[in-house]
Amino acid sequence: MSYSSGRILLSSQREGQVSRFRPWVILVVPLAAILFQVYIPLFFQFLKFLEMPLLVVVYFGLMRRNQIGGLLTGAMVGLAQDSLSKNPLGMHGIVNTLVGYFAASVGVRLDVDHGVIRFLLALFFYMFHQMLCWMIEQALPLGHQPAFKIDEWLVFGVLNAIVAVALFHFLDKLRESA
């Protein structure tokens, strides 16, 4: 693992390095994340807490530092998630769009290669994702009242953040070299 030095904030945008990925990576990785979320819990129930699509969106947003790319990736992944769930189309789409956009925005300012930053950002965006989902469910007349389980979200957020650090490290391998 080759993390950057102790500086967290970038002094200028030029300091941040824009990661480039091959097109198939951008297509296959989110697809794999979605498949993982819908398929793996069938066999391993305890892995249900993992929000792999969210983590992939965060990663691509942070690393590509392209807000439009980030929000489009989030929208596509979110809509795909909704298509495979009982939720109405657009619920995860909206949330992941916002996550992708803000992740790209944050990636411009922060040294996203730093492990701690990645952990914290993964935790933050997980909480942000859960919070937004809860708000949308609350706003829409879906026929049930969503539970506000902040402690559970925190635990799962930490677990997802830990997984995110490892996943991001793995995905760094798929970057094109400059």
Minimum CB separation of residue 83 from another protein in Å reads 11
Count of other CB atoms within 10 angstroms of residue 70: 29
Smallest gap from residue 105 Cβ to another protein (A): 8
Identity of the residue, 142 or 154, whose beta carbon is nearer to another protein in the bound complex: 142
Q: At closest approach, how far in Å is the CB of 58 from another protein?
A: 16
As a whole number of angstroms, the distance between CA 39 and CA 99 comes to: 23
116 counts as binding another protein under rule CB under 8 A: no
Please report whether residue 101 would count as binding another protein according to CB under 8 A. yes
Helix axes 67-83, 91-109, angle to 10 degrees: 150
CB of 95 to another protein, least distance (A): 9
Task: Write the CA distances from 26 to 72, 85, 123, integer angstroms.
Answer: 11, 22, 22
Contact 74, 100 (CB under 8 A): yes
Q: Per-residue contact track with another protein, 63 to 92, x per CB under 8 A?
A: ----xx--xx--x--xx--------xxxx-
Among 65, 55, 67, which Cα is nearest to 15's? Answer: 65
In angstroms, rounded to a whole number, what is the distance separating the alpha carbons of residues 100 and 120? 16
Q: Which residue has the tokens 């657009």?
A: 90
- Taking CB under 8 A as the criterion, the residue among 18, 140, 155, 166 binding another protein is 140
Is the CB of 93 or the CB of 157 nearer to another protein? 93
Establish if 141 lies at the interface with another protein (CB under 8 A). yes
Q: How far is the CB of 88 from another protein (least distance, A)?
A: 4
Minimum CB distance to another protein, residue 97 (Å):
5
Interaction between residue 93 and another protein (CB under 8 A): yes
Task: Give CA–CA dist 36/153, Å, rounded.
Answer: 20
Residue in this structure with the two tokens 């792999």, named with its chain if needed: 52
Residues at the site binding another protein, with contacts judged by CB under 8 A: 67-68, 71-72, 75, 78-79, 88-91, 93-94, 97-98, 101, 104, 136, 140-142
